[in-house]
Amino acid sequence: MTPTEREQVKTDLQAYVAQHGLSIHDLAARMKSSGRKVDAKVLHRFLDRGLLVDDTILSVYRGFVDQPG
């Protein structure tokens, strides 16, 4: 994914968190309950600290943003 796509996923996830009033752990739980393999620690680092994650993890995040379940 391009840096622009990565930033869009991050922005979309942060908007989802804000819209639903979730913590990162709540978001990870929602993602897991919809059948996605998610590590809350990696999700937190991606959203709050700007950690770069590989494309396979980012595609899971993108899939959740596109279809939250």
Q: Check residue 7 and give its pLDDT.
A: 94
The pTM of this model reads 0.88
pLDDT band for 68, please (50, 70, 90 cuts): confident
Which residues span the domain enclosing 15?
Answer: 3-66
CA distances from 48 to 33, 44, 45 (A): 22, 6, 5
Total structural domains within the chain = 1
Q: How confident is the model over 5-56, as pLDDT tens digits?
A: 999 999 999 999 999 999 999 999 999 999 999 999 999 999 998 889 999 9
Q: Check residue 37 and give its pLDDT.
A: 93
